[in-house]
Every structure is written in structure tokens, then in C-alpha cells.
Amino acid sequence: MEIVIYIYNGMTMLDAIGPYEILRNLRGVNIKFVAKKKEEITADSQFVHLNAKYEIDEIQKADILLIPGSTVSFVREMKDKRVLNWIKKINETTLKTVTVCTGSIILSATELLQGKKATSHWKPINMLSQFGAIPTRERIVEDGKFISSAGVSAGIDMALYLASILKGEKDAKAAQLIIEYDPKPMFQSGNYSTAESDIIEQAEKILKKDAIKNLSLWEMIKSYNVLKDMK
């Protein structure tokens, strides 16, 4: 089974690596990290790096296509016609096309999600509607062959769900045990609907600080009203 993870500069590394740690422990899978060109990909933190051994022109099909998100660089990806056309081409061959965080917004820009429910990070989720998708504030949303997951850590849960579909519950549980994924968060502020207003405000300030590190993308993202109350 071929699993292709699309990676790009400015992506949130856990969006890709979280699902990877689950999926790599399944029997009979081959995972490829694919980018626009073979190079070292830098995370949105500017600290973590990941090597892309394949470029998109080399990949013609996949059983699973996974698209991670980012703080702000997803805006560049959703405007790149080469990337969008490649996603549409690969999607024609997939059993499932899945996203983490704002990866769903990149996917929605292909118009493949028109009329379909999808989730994303809590801050830019409404941007999905600009491309005809139906924003749905849930941790994992499945609509047809598409599975989207909310912000960053939700990618691990999505990968477990995907693993159970692909290989069965027993294999998914074994993969969960291998990484000892047994979350017991100290605080209950990980969901937008239950987080206190002052915590949301503080999180928004941090997101803004991260986003404006790339001023060109920051100007683009403002034009989409994604972070409208971070001006």
C-alpha cells in the first residue's frame, strides 16, 4: 500500500509526523514524503527539517494521499496551480485522501470538497466555505473518500481511524500501543468550544506572531479574512 505525504516549506511538522508514526507501524505500507522538488523542507518553527526524497512529478498515484497544514504557508500552497493539479490527479487514484489542520484548506482550493463537510484548525476553519466546502467543527470528519482532521494533534487520531479502515481495529490498536498514545491532558483547553475566552485571545496573539514572520504570506492571508481579528 502506497501512502504519499505531501510536504512543503512552512508546514507544521507534527501534522505530517504524527500520522506517520501511526501509519509506519502498519503491515505492508510504503510511505513516501513528496514535495515540489527534492530538498530539505523547513517547518513553520524554522527549526525542524525533513528531507523530501521524491518530487511531485515522480508520483503518479497513491492509495492514500495525506496533506498536512501550517500556520500560514498553506496560503501559498492553495494558490499554486501545479500543486493543486497534482493533488487532483493523485486523488483520482486514491482510496482515501486525508488532511490535517489547514491541509483541508489546500485540498478545498482544488474544489474537490465542494458540497462536502470538512474540518480544519479552529482559527481559519471558515475559510473552507470560500471553496464550497461545509466547515464542520469536529475533530475528525469523513465525507465520502475524504477524511479531514482538526488542528495538529488531531492528525494522530485521524491516522488511527484511517489505520482501522485500512488494516482493521487490531492493527490500529497495536500501532497506538507502539507509540504509547494514551493522552491525559493536564488542561481541558484543547478544544475551541470549551477554552476560556482569555486563553483563546492569548492563542490568537501567538498565532499572529508566528504568521507575520513571513510578511508576504501574512498580507495574502489577511486578504482572505482568515485571521481577521489578529490585525
Contact in structure between 100 and 157 (CB atoms under 8 Å): no
Active site residue 93: no
Cα 149–Cα 152–Cα 26 angle in degrees, nearest 5: 70
Q: How many Å apart are CA 157 and CA 227, to the nearest integer?
A: 26
Q: List the chain pLDDT tens, one digit each, 231 residues.
A: 999 999 999 999 999 999 999 999 999 999 999 999 999 999 887 788 899 999 999 999 999 999 999 988 999 999 999 999 999 999 999 999 999 999 999 999 999 999 999 999 999 999 999 999 999 999 999 999 999 999 999 999 999 999 999 999 999 999 999 999 999 999 999 999 899 999 999 998 888 877 776 655 656 666 555 544 333
b/e 130-164 (16+ beta carbons within 10 angstroms → b)? ebebebbeebbbbeeebbbbbbbbbbbbbbbbbbb
Q: Which member of 72, 101, 112, 154 is catalytic?
A: 101
- Name, in order, each residue with C-beta under 8 angstroms of 198's C-beta and a sequence gap of 6 or more: none
